[in-house]
Amino acid sequence: MPLFPVILDLLARASRKLGFETIDRFPSGHAHARTHWDPAYFDIASDLKPDQIESTVCAAIANTPLVFGRIANPTPRMQRTVLSIIDARLRSGGAPSDLVRLLIEAYGSPDTVEAIPGLRAAIAASAPYEMPVRIVRLLDYLSAMPSAFDVIDARP
């Protein structure tokens, strides 16, 4: 057996364990193992625990909200981060239509876990319409529901 491939394998394992590599998904077997992200936008060390991974991704979303679009099957916590930013933008008179569009697109996958009960159905109900109408309908839905985000009524 050649020694060089064995040494490379050991170095790769050590690199992952020490956090020198970045990861693009949760570990297999995790509840959100289908969630993955573009590693070019998220620098997640491979030695982090799943809760730390999720916190790091949520912090990246909070700092640069449009990176949410680089996540496939975002976790409910990641979605709640975006929902809180949408709420903050509405309260300050901003237009959150770009983030609402990303949220709608995230629900294009059946593997995306619902962050708020009824959110998937609300998004699905708007499917026959063009994106601007879908955004308005979802904002209407969010503003009508009593939630922790308390999204106010506003138009993008």
In tens, the pLDDT along 134-149 reads: 999 999 998 886 655 5
Domain coordinates of the chain in residue numbers? 3-144
Task: Count how many residues are written for the chain.
Answer: 156
Is 99 in contact with 65 (CB distance < 8 Å)? Answer: yes
Predicted structure pTM score: 0.82
Burial classification of residue 43, based on how many CB atoms lie within 10 Å of its CB (0-12 exposed, 13-18 middle, 19 or more buried): exposed
Alpha carbon distance 14, 8 (integer Å): 10
In tens, the pLDDT along 15-52 reads: 666 656 788 999 889 999 999 999 999 989 888 999 99
